[in-house]
Amino acid sequence: MLGVNKMNIDRLKELREDKDLLQKDIAKLLKVSQQQYAKYEMGINSIPLEKINILADYYQTSVDYLINRTNERKPYPKIKK
């Protein structure tokens, strides 16, 4: 399973709290338990890449922002198929 270990975990909490959401709300979105999501947010467990993509779309940001490769929150343009 591909995952991201070196994420800026503070960004996950910040983005969630900016939308006044609870961990259980994001856990439901990701189809994981609240306990599993809490481990992602605390940096205990790696977040699978497919879950990072879901979060980037949900928060309307880039994966690079979530994994701390940029401080630019604006998402990249989508590829037209």
Does 38 fall in a domain? yes
Q: What is the CATH number of the domain that holds 24?
A: 1.10.260.40
Does 80 fall in a domain? no
14 vs 2, residue with greater confidence: 14
The parent domain of residue 12 ranges over 3-66
Q: Which of the four pLDDT bands, split at 50, 70 and 90, describes residue 1?
A: very low
Does 49 fall in a domain? yes
77 vs 56, residue with greater confidence: 56
Does 18 fall in a domain? yes
CB 47 within 8 A of CB 4: yes
Give the model's pLDDT for residue 71. 86
Does 75 fall in a domain? no
pLDDT (mean) for 37-60:
92
DSSP states along 17-63: HHTT--HHHHHHHHTS-HHHHHHHHHTSSPEEHHHHHHHHHHHT--H
| Chain mean pLDDT for the chain | 87
pTM of full prediction above 0.85: no
Domain count within the chain: 1
Does 74 fall in a domain? no
Q: Is a pLDDT exceeding 70 seen at residue 20? A: yes
